[in-house]
Structure 1
Amino acid sequence: MIWLVTALTAAVALVFQYVVVGVPLVPWALLITLVIAALAHLAVRLLPPVDPNWQALPAESSAPIATYASSLGARLADAESDPHRFTSRIRPRLQTLALGRIRRHPGCGDIGLDDGRARELLGDDLHRLLTDPAATMPNPARFAEMLTRLEEL
């Protein structure tokens, strides 16, 4: 698959340069095509794949929080072994869930996670997990405890 993408990129680049732009085939179009093909090959090899979420949404999803909660469970196994997935997939969903729970409290309808009241409601460890860029996913037992506290808000 990688070679197919590289070959197609090279062919399109060569045709575009020669036909549309009018770059001489030898040596410039071939040289530029070689560079473009090498970059395409590196990009396909080094960039992480985009993982589709095939999990169906819950049937009785009446609130946006329910949608976030349903997709959260499927991401936990991946995030445990890959810190980048925790930062890019789990933490944003947890932040949305936490804000939804916090904003239900009287007088907290417009606060953010950086507010002191949010820190009080969440507790120091959960607040740090949601706001500290260096925080990593805790062990499953500790994480379940944090989620229980979030649910009780």
Structure 2
Amino acid sequence: MTVVLWHLGILAVAVTLAVVIVRRIPVVSSRPPAPPQATRAAEAADRAFAAVRWWEHRLASTRDDLPRFHSLVQRRLAELVVERLRRRHGTTGPARAAEILGAELHELITVPLTAVPTRAELARLIARIEEI
């Protein structure tokens, strides 16, 4: 009878230890918790700053290199202008687009350049794109 009590005692201790150990295991949810709103806002701001840094790097690297300016900047500006025209003015023909853009901006995106625009010229043209 003493042997049975020993076995029951050891079994009770083992069950108690198992319950304590299982309770200390953290519960893992099937999906990660949603990030707080501040984190989402910070991520959006980081993306915006990354885009600005991208443009800054591209503009700096093309300052004296016309072919590089054409491939990295002029094409992107043309895409941006086309998208702005489409969203704000609907589908327009080339004549109407030239009228909306103005001669200088229209030339920037359609005519092969002979020189990289200065910072002041580029700033003025980009401001014009923002006005569209």
TM range (shorter): 0.5 to 0.7
Secondary structure at 1:133's aligned position in 2?
A: coil
Q: Which residue of 1 aligns with 2:112?
A: 133
Structure with the bigger RCO (C-alpha within 8 Å, sep 6+) is 2
Contact 2:64 2:116 in 1 (8 A): no
Q: TM-score, normalised to structure 2's length? A: 0.56
More helix by share: 2
How large is the RMSD of aligned CA atoms in angstroms? Answer: 2.5
Structure (1 or 2) with the larger CA radius of gyration: 2
Contact 2:66 2:114 in 1 (8 A): no
1:76 paired with 2:59, answer: yes
Aligned length: 87
Q: TM-score, normalised to structure 1's length? A: 0.49
Please give the per-residue CA displacement for 1:56-78, whole angstroms capped at 9, x wherever unaligned: xx9439xxxx7xx6432321111
Give me the whole-angstrom Cα distance separating, in 1, the residues matched to 2:114 and 2:77: 13
Please give the per-residue CA displacement for 1:36-81, whole angstroms capped at 9, x wherever unaligned: xxxxxxxxxxxxxxxxxxxxxx9439xxxx7xx6432321111111
Shift of 1:141: 0.8
Runs of 4+ in structure 1 deviating by more than 4 angstroms, as ranges, are: none
Structure 2: stretches of 5+ with no match in the other structure:
1-41
Contact 1:137 1:143 in 2 (8 A): no
